[in-house]
Amino acid sequence: MSQMHSGNRESKTATVVQVRESLVLVQIDEQASVKKNEVGYICVGEERLKAEVLRIRGRTADMQVFEDTSGVRVGDRVEMTDEMLSATLGPGLLGRVFDGLQNPLHDLAEQHGFFLPRGVSVPPLNLEQTWKFTPAVSVGSRVPPGGVLGTVPEGPFTHKILVPFSEKEPVTVTWIGEGEWTLQDPVVRFESGGVEREITMVQRWPVRRPIPESLLRRRYAERLYAQEPITTGTRIIDTFFPIANGGTGCIPGPFGAGKTVLQSTIARYSSVDIVVVVACGERAGEVVETITMYPETKDPRTGGTLMDRTIIICNTSSMPVAAREASIYMGVTLAEYYRQMGLNVLLIADSTSRWAQAMRETSGRMEEIPGEEAFPAYLDSSIKSVYERAGLIRCADDSEGSLTMIGTVSPAGGNFEEPVNQSTLGTVKAFLGLSYDRAYKRFYPAIDPLISWSRYLDQLKSWLSENLDPNWTRDVKQLRELLERGDAINQMMQVTGEEGITLEDYITWQKSVLVDMAYLQQDAFDEIDACMPRPRQLESLKLLRSLVDRDYDFETRDEARDYFTQITGLYKNWNYSPQNSADYQNYKASIEAAVRELAQTAS
């Protein structure tokens, strides 16, 4: 399965000297040397338990074990591999469900039943399946690291076979095959540094090291400034809190606020090619819902199922802590791989809170000095190092690929001041805070417009002005101010009642309610309202501005309430109507007629 054929390495061994749950202290043999994040196997009878080096002190090393450590004893032998914890990259990843170590869960279940035995691993990719390889270069071609050697069809996409990212200089192709090959068959031979090698369609890459890092250092890739947004089809995100293509965002919220439904909606309708979902520490029931729903959900982009262009990394709260900690790095590496092909990738991590809790458990067993709330002192830098792997990249073949990362956060008790949430806020550029109060009132998506923000609104101003409306950013900011004034008036009414405020303030509050009810709320289970394209969002926003910018001359609060209730009902029915259908035209005409009728009455 390796990308290259290499000589046999000398075996390196160590010995277990201490066991603390999933953390094992090993004594390294005198003739051996190990490095951080190196993988080793603890031999327990016939079982080989996979582990990773976390810390080295002299001739001893702390290793986190990705399996249950029952039965591991002092004196057990440890076989070191001299390899980092790595992802297997190649055709056949799409549509698969892996654990945090990239074991395919469906294959494991078929071979070993639903109760997975310890120490068992299965190749991530089907090594016997054949793929039609079409060369993209000829003999004698000089191809840089990350450059395209050939292509194979993978579902709805063209999968590019790339020069291994570990190469330090352009390679010279000496032979290239064409036709049907398995993943074990060499398809290219090339010369690099005076040595000829052959590679298959598969390569491996350390998960804790960003793929483009080495390419950027050697100028075989270029990081670009994001200037276009992704379109999610969710009005409150696209309009008020946009996320750049290649940007970062987070969705914090308490239990029951709708994170799972919102992230599923974003995954289904976003203007991206590939979706990678990392379920790191979520409850098994929620993960099972995701695994069963995606293959049954029609994909509006391809006409197939959503699973056809999705990869799921699954480590539930009942799985080993160490594998949960590794799962995000595995997911990011797979996402980076497809980005290097010039594709737009969306990574959803659910949830980074439980990933951080896994780090806290491991850090505690290593007896490290704790930070706030016993999280490791390096929590902030760990979160930043993950989100910094997002971005827009110009690849070696001059195509552009992006990795947009959205992490959900599950703060205990909905407390947004806890360390994981605060570290995430200091890293991402879009904050979509979910409110329990809005969820309790069935205001979905429960994104609170008064606490949420996006730094991309100004960054994307040029694109929004050129492609939507020159006044888009200004209009959004003014509507946000209207929502803030309406909230302040509503709080006053909670104390004084409706009679305690002026009629003018009451009308302002009704305007803010109209914006909230008619535009910010959206039905994720309605075929039409679940996703609103940007042109329709623009049309809706213009009509909404014409309604809230008007001066109304109501004589009583009842008149104002009845009018805005009527408009809100018509507007919601308009949202449910297919674009340019008879109902669509009728409801829009009814809204405009209601405005004209009121104007005639006032005159």
* Antiparallel, parallel or unpaired: β 97-98 and 12-20: unpaired
Alpha carbon distance 424, 166 (integer Å): 31
CATH 3.40.47.10 for domain 235-467, yes or no, is no
Name residues of the chain where pLDDT drops below 70: 1-10, 282-285, 317-318, 599-603
Q: Which two tokens stand for residue 148?
A: 């395209």
Question: What is the Cα 319 distance to its own chain's centre?
Answer: 21
**Structure tokens given for 577:** 């109507």
Name the token pair of 443.
């205001």
Tokens encoding 236:
């409150």
pLDDT at 295 (0 to 100) = 87
Alpha-carbon distances of 29 from 15, 37, 548, rounded to whole Å: 8, 18, 75
* Integer Cα distance of 453 and 438 in angstroms: 17
Q: Which of 23, 37, 446, 9 is nearest to 262 (CA)?
A: 446
Instruction: Report whether 401 belongs to an annotated binding site.
Output: no
Map residue 88 onto helix, strand or coil.
strand
Residue type, 123: P
Burial class of residue 26 in the structure, from the number of CB atoms within 10 Å of its CB (0-12 exposed, 13-18 middle, 19+ buried)? buried
> Maximum distance among all alpha carbons in the chain?
96
- C-alpha separations of 92 from 128, 137, 183, 335, 504 in Å: 11, 22, 10, 14, 62
Using an 8 Å Cβ cutoff, are 63 and 16 in contact? no
* Alpha helices (H) in 81-123, listed in sequence order: 105-112
The CA radius of gyration of the chain, in Å to the nearest whole number, is 27
What is the structure's pLDDT at 600? 64
Burial class from Cβ neighbours inside 10 Å (0-12, 13-18, 19+) for residue 268 reads: buried
The CATH architecture of the domain made up of 472-602 is Orthogonal Bundle (1.10)
Who's near 30: CB < 8 A, 6+ residues apart? 59
594 and 567 in contact (C-beta within 8 Å)? yes
* pTM metric for this prediction: 0.94
* Residue limits of CATH 2.40.50.100 in the chain: 126-201
- pLDDT tens digits, one per residue of 138-158: 999 999 999 999 999 999 999
What pLDDT does residue 323 have?
A: 84
Residue appearing with tokens 């840089």 = 144
Q: Which residues of the chain does CATH 3.40.50.300 include?
A: 235-467
Tell me which residue of 339, 467, 349 sits closest to 403, measured CA to CA: 339
Instruction: Give burial (CB, 10 Å; 0-12/13-18/19+) of 121.
Output: middle
256 in a labelled binding site: yes
Any known ligand binding at 260?
yes
Q: Quote the pLDDT of residue 292.
A: 83
Asked whether the beta carbons of 281 and 358 are under 8 A apart, the reply is yes
Q: Could you count the other beta carbons within 10 Å of the beta carbon of residue 18?
A: 12
Q: Which CATH architecture is the domain 12-83 placed in?
A: Beta Barrel (2.40)
DSSP symbols for 309-332: GEEEEEE-TTS-HHHHHHHHHHHH
CATH of 126-201, one of 3.40.50.12280, 3.40.50.300, 2.40.50.100, 3.40.190.10: 2.40.50.100
- Name the burial class of residue 487, with classes exposed (0-12), middle (13-18) and buried (19+) by CB atoms within 10 angstroms of its CB: middle
Contact 487, 455 (CB under 8 A): no
DSSP 462-501: HHHHHHT-TTHHHHHHHHHHHHHHHHHHHHHHHHH-GGGS
Give the CA distances from residue 43 to residues 46, 68, 77, in Å, rounded to whole numbers and listed in that order.
Answer: 7, 13, 6
Closest CA to 543 of 593, 470, 508: 593
Contact 67, 49 (CB under 8 A): yes
How would you classify the pairing of strands 310-315 and 97-98? parallel
Give the pLDDT score at 284. 66
Which pLDDT score is estimated for 7? 39
Token reading at 537: 């969002």
- Here the tokens at position 396 are 């070696």
Contact predicate 245/232, CB 8 Å: no
Q: Which of these, 399, 268, 269, lies nearest to 338 by C-alpha position?
A: 399
Query: Is residue 582 helix, strand or coil?
Result: helix
The pLDDT tens digits of the residues spanning 357-383 come to: 999 999 999 999 999 999 999 999 999
Question: Given this model, what pLDDT does residue 30 score?
Answer: 83
Q: Report whether 94 contacts 57 (CB < 8 A).
A: no
The reply, when asked if residue 259 is annotated as ligand binding, is: yes
Distance between CA atoms of residues 246 and 224, nearest Å? 9
Task: Please name the residue ranges forming H helices in 230-271.
Answer: 235, 259-269
Local structure of 162: helix, strand or coil: strand
Distance CA 335, CA 402 (A): 9
Rounded to an integer, what distance in angstroms lies between the CA atom of residue 564 and that of residue 569?
9
Q: Judging by beta carbons within 10 Å of its beta carbon (0-12, 13-18, 19+), is residue 10 exposed, middle or buried?
A: exposed
Instruction: Give which of 412, 310, 406, 316 is closest to 355, Cα–Cα.
Output: 316
Measuring CA to CA, which residue among 113, 101, 112 is closest to residue 50?
Answer: 101
Angle at 83 between CA 82 and CA 84, to 5 degrees: 130
Domain ranges in the chain with CATH number 2.40.10.170: 12-83
State whether residue 69 is helix, strand or coil.
coil
**Residue 209 has which token pair?**
């090291």
303 is in an annotated binding site: no
CA distance 283 to 208: 25
